[in-house]
Structure 1
Amino acid sequence: MYSFIKVKITVLFAVLLLVVGCDNNKNNQKTDYSNIDVWKDALIIKHAQGETSFEYAPKKVAVFNIATLDIIDALNIPVTAVPQSDVHLPDFLSKYSDKSYTNIGTLFEPNYEVLSSINPDLIIAGGRATDAYPKLEKLAKTISLDIDSNNFLASLTERTRQLGWIFEKEKEASKLIEDFNQKIEQLKPKTSTAGSALMIMVNGGKMSAYGPKSRFGFVFDVLGFKPAAVFQEAGRHGNSITSEFVLSVDPQWIFVIDRDSAIGNKEALSAQQVLNNELIQKTAAWKNNHIVYLDSTSMYIAGGIQTYSRLMDQIEEALQKTSTNN
């Protein structure tokens, strides 16, 4: 878990005081120092790559981490530059594809020349640009605000608060967190009794599953769905599964992320096509119309506070349909 502390930095006026003192001795006058601010608040942010201090709110910001961009957008923090080359953003972040934002490369490969030319106050790395951090920090102040999937809710909350501190949006961040937690508390009584669930990703016609404490473990770890299967390895890329496996664990709910759709690949089979087979059709999830195709671009590309708020809305809607049908 990362946190922040405020420290007092002493501003040394030794030379100034010496000179003024000499003048005072000469003129035999008293000097009023009450209007000199000899202490200055500095914000120190602890993050995945170390610690970074802030003396003022950054104005010109370049963002590579789309999960962070998700939170920044929710807080209405101005952004100067984002990666736009071959980047497929979810609808609620589509405005960042506009030419009014400087294109700084791809999610994996920053355009260092363009970054240098815009001279940002702050670069937010992390996510898919983690490996670029050493080069980025040579260009400008750089932080990495990745969300820890092993401690998702606390980590997401802290990232939101940190951004509120950095950009002087503390009240807005607190309200955003409060609303998010309230939505969780309203949904949990329904999800915790809804039965077993399986979170799967479809990619290139194949399936992988994610359990608790994994990249997409939110439905288990936070909302309280019972895992239909538990895997030894969390794995960022999930655990390879087959339709036979899905039938064997027979989940009452299946939540689906279509990776090909998320990255804009229109040539691969859709998740609906992959799951439409005789084995999946025998599961309780299929029979009860409990297969939920999630906003894949949001889940796979973004993954911030807006993403998971929307996920809860989608699950709430699915549960409501079930309640209505019963």
Structure 2
Amino acid sequence: MLKVSIFPRISVMVRVVAAAGLLMAGACVPVPVGDSMSMSQPDSATASQPAEVEITHYSGTDVVPVSPETVVVADIAALLSLHDLGAEGIAGLLGLGVPIPDKYAEALNNPDFAELGSVWEPDYEAINALEPDLIIVAGRSSRIYADMKEIAPTADLTVWEDFYSKFQEQHRNMGKIFGVEDRVEERLAELDAMVQDVSAQAAGAGRALILLTTGAEVTAYGPGSRFGFVHDTFGYAAADENLEREATHGDAVSFEYILEMQPDVLFVIDRASAIGEEGKAAAEILDNELVAQTPAWQNGRVVYVDAFDWYIAWTSLPAMFQVVEDVKSGLQ
């Protein structure tokens, strides 16, 4: 890893204090009565806006600038939310090297973005050359938080356990940083209305099982897991309460297991599709005589979800709106 020597920047707050001192000194100078009303007054919005804000996030607590002008984002989901919220100042994205759906091309494939490498191999020299005011990491890029913090103030907006609450909390952090609190509350209210509508129906809609396919391999997720929001947020009963919660790619399961669990609804994520790998499609993998005997298959309640939104971008606002629609599709 390239080691970059970073000199401390002059604090914005120091400059503000210095400016205040000058204004006080100026107040001692007599001003002609006729000119007293012509003195420029500070803009009330600017004067009331703090220069910095303290943010508590996944990796700790940091003081970061408000309305930063040059921002590096190292998470696809975070950038999708920032674009949705109308945040400004985004200078570059560290991506994942996965195909970008057309619906997100405007947000993620901006030709004005600087080339900064990827989440897996950041170009620290290029990032440092941008002299960013703020760096945002989350999810897969959380591991480079400490490295990024050596370059500029860094916020880790990873959404962790207690998914829905942390999802809201991190988006409110975005609102504080970028001065878009009203927009955040508006979008969260829209989303919550949809979530509450679905959850009111899901509790009595049968037992659900979440599956991830990768090539010919099938893994399963339950409550408290990466995709546990199906149960924890939306209220679907779990077909299996004992699945591993910490496994990133789920518990490996067989078709016999799926039949044994007798799920009423299956939510299926095609990982190969999400990351652009070749291989059998999820629908082809699950089309067999064992899975066909489950209530989910027999009643047409197998939901092949938007793989990119669930696997890559599920902690973003746009993706969560799609997640709600997918979960709603599992209702009878």
Instruction: Select 2:229's aligned residue among 215, 218, 239.
Output: 218
1:52 CA displacement: 1.9
Q: 1:277 to 1:171 in 2, by over 3 A?
A: same
Deviations 1:151-188 (A, max 9, x none): 01110000111101100001000101111110111112
Contact 1:66 1:127 in 2 (8 A): no
The reply on whether 1:295 has 2:310 as its aligned counterpart is no
Report the residue type matching 1:132 in the other structure: I
DSSP 3-state at the match of 1:103: coil
Q: What is aligned with 2:289?
A: 278
Q: What is aligned with 2:165?
A: 154
Deviations 1:247-279 (A, max 9, x none): 00110100001111110002x111111101110
Q: What is aligned with 2:97?
A: 86
Instruction: Select 1:48's aligned residue among 54, 58, 63.
Output: 58
1:16 CA displacement: 5.3
Q: Matches of residues 131-142 of structure 1 in structure 2 within 5 Å? A: 131-142=143-154
Contact 1:202 1:256 in 2 (8 A): yes
Instruction: Select 1:66's aligned residue among 72, 76, 79.
Output: 76
Q: 1:186 to 1:40 in 2, by over 3 A?
A: closer
Report the residue type matching 2:112 in the other structure: S
Report the residue type matching 2:262 in the other structure: D
Gaps (5+ residues) in structure 1?
1-8
Q: What is aligned with 1:3?
A: none
Over aligned residue pairs, what C-alpha RMSD do you find?
3.0
Instruction: Select 2:176's aligned residue among 157, 161, 165.
Output: 165
Q: Matches of residues 99-118 of structure 1 in structure 2 within 5 Å? A: 99-118=111-130
Report the residue type matching 1:74 in the other structure: D
The reply on whether 1:201 has 2:209 as its aligned counterpart is no
Q: 1:225 to 1:60 in 2, by over 3 A?
A: same
Contact 1:84 1:97 in 2 (8 A): no
Report the residue type matching 1:311 in the other structure: V
Instruction: Select 2:319's aligned residue among 303, 307, 311.
Output: 307
Contact 1:84 1:103 in 2 (8 A): no
TM-score by length of 1: 0.84
What is the CA–CA distance in structure 1 between the aligned matches of 2:100 and 2:227, rounded to whole Å? 18
1:50 CA displacement: 2.2
What is the CA–CA distance in structure 2 between the aligned matches of 1:223 and 1:39, rounded to whole Å? 39
Q: 1:52 to 1:272 in 2, by over 3 A?
A: same
The reply on whether 1:253 has 2:265 as its aligned counterpart is yes
What is the CA–CA distance in structure 2 between the aligned matches of 1:86 and 1:16, rounded to whole Å? 50
What is the CA–CA distance in structure 1 between the aligned matches of 2:49 and 2:233, rounded to whole Å? 39
Contact 1:201 1:259 in 2 (8 A): yes
Q: 1:54 to 1:281 in 2, by over 3 A?
A: same
Contact 1:65 1:128 in 2 (8 A): yes
Report the residue type matching 2:317 in the other structure: I
1:59 CA displacement: 1.8
What is the CA–CA distance in structure 2 between the aligned matches of 1:39 and 1:298, rounded to whole Å? 38
1:298 CA displacement: 1.2
Q: 1:220 to 1:12 in 2, by over 3 A?
A: same
Contact 2:220 2:243 in 1 (8 A): no
What is the CA–CA distance in structure 2 between the aligned matches of 1:258 and 1:144, rounded to whole Å? 27
1:287 CA displacement: 0.6
Contact 2:53 2:65 in 1 (8 A): yes
1:90 CA displacement: 4.0
Q: Higher mean Cα deviation, 136-145 or 164-173?
A: 136-145
What is the CA–CA distance in structure 1 between the aligned matches of 2:94 and 2:209, rounded to whole Å? 33
Deviations 1:96-134 (A, max 9, x none): 124222232123221112212222221111221222222
Q: 1:259 to 1:85 in 2, by over 3 A?
A: closer
Contact 2:274 2:307 in 1 (8 A): yes
Q: 1:56 to 1:312 in 2, by over 3 A?
A: closer
Q: 1:295 to 1:98 in 2, by over 3 A?
A: same
What is the CA–CA distance in structure 2 between the aligned matches of 1:112 and 1:145, rounded to whole Å? 20
TM-score by length of 2: 0.82
The reply on whether 1:175 has 2:175 as its aligned counterpart is no
What is the CA–CA distance in structure 1 between the aligned matches of 2:189 and 2:65, rounded to whole Å? 27
What is the CA–CA distance in structure 1 between the aligned matches of 2:25 and 2:118, rounded to whole Å? 55
Gaps (5+ residues) in structure 2?
1-12
What is the CA–CA distance in structure 1 between the aligned matches of 2:115 and 2:308, rounded to whole Å? 20
Contact 1:88 1:297 in 2 (8 A): no
What is the CA–CA distance in structure 1 between the aligned matches of 2:47 and 2:280, rounded to whole Å? 65
What is the CA–CA distance in structure 2 between the aligned matches of 1:75 and 1:20, rounded to whole Å? 41
